[in-house]
Amino acid sequence: MTVIKYSQAIRDAIAEEMRIDQNVFVMGQDVETMGGVFGCTKGILEEFGHDRIRNTPISEAVIIGAGVGGALTGTRMLVEMQYVDFILHAMDQTINQAAKVRYMTGGKATVPLIIRAQQGSGRGNGAQHSQNLEALFCHMPGLKVVMPSTPYDAKGLLKTAVRDNNPVLFFEHKVLYNTKGEVPDTDYTIPFGKADIKRSGKDVTVIATSWMVLKALEAAEILEKQGIDAEIIDPRTLVPLDKETIINSVKKTGRAVIVHEAHEVCGIGAEIAFIIMELAIDWLDAPVKRVTSAQAPIPYSSKLEKLTIPSVDRIIDAVKEVMYIK
């Protein structure tokens, strides 16, 4: 095992898959020498050349449109969006084309396309560069949605995505790029649809995604000192979603708190909460609680941004609420 940054895990996964399969191709804005806006492809040009990695115009419709075309003609396309917010310029290519081609051709055509997109707040990037849009794509059949929270998960899940024959939305959080964690030195993959129990506990289940996993773990350490044992579950992939692990945990603890950075209305937390109500209502000792960002654009001001997104204190308060502790 080697301790590396989240960004390095992304870069290593891409390079390793390019060595394994000569049909893997990388494309996006400034991905060659600059390595993309967060440096995740830096150094890949020197090894693989312009035939395998290519800068693009500033046009998300072109980037994803070309990605769909390349995937349909036998290339495993890894395309990068500088920010997830910009993918809205290519919704037709993503939702009407990539997501539907395999179904509409009866499986004769496949779309091995990975759209890497950086999302989330925490850096003062303002309302148009700080969104979390995973729920939009979870709604659309034909797309897989991945949200890794650790370097280990980022590398293993990205390698799985590259080998998948379906379009994958791979959402990386900007704040996580400099976080570090242990990653195996040998080749490995992580299957989609398998949640990870980041921390075992018996009193309450906290289901968290992406950066919020780290905040949930921090909250759990504080709660432990107060006599509350929280179990932290990271779904890792939202489509497919590991319902079994979530439900088994809720049946054990009798309480559930869902934490995600996206807005509350129609967020993935609503879907998970309803699944719990459908499959585990008889085991619940309290209503399911959600901790999300406020239903407002993310402010540029760092102080206002912190008030808008979930905090460790808000997670602690939510856990105490379902525990009926004042």
Strands laid side by side in the 256-263 sheet: 196-199, 230-234, 204-208, 256-263, 289-293
Phi then psi dihedrals of residue 170, to 5 deg: -110, 100
Alpha-helical segments (H) within the chain: 6-20, 44-48, 60-72, 91, 101-104, 134-138, 151-163, 211-225, 243-253, 268-280, 302-308, 312-322
Q: Residue type for 265, please?
A: V
CA distance 256 to 237: 19
Residue by residue, DSSP assigns 283-320 as G-SS--EEEEE-SSPPPSSHHHHHHHS--HHHHHHHHH
From the list 50, 89, 129, 139, the catalytic residue is 129
CA distances 170 to 49, 80, 160, 245, Å, are: 24, 9, 11, 22
CA distance 5 to 12: 10
Question: Catalytic site residue 263?
Answer: no
List residues with catalytic annotation: 129
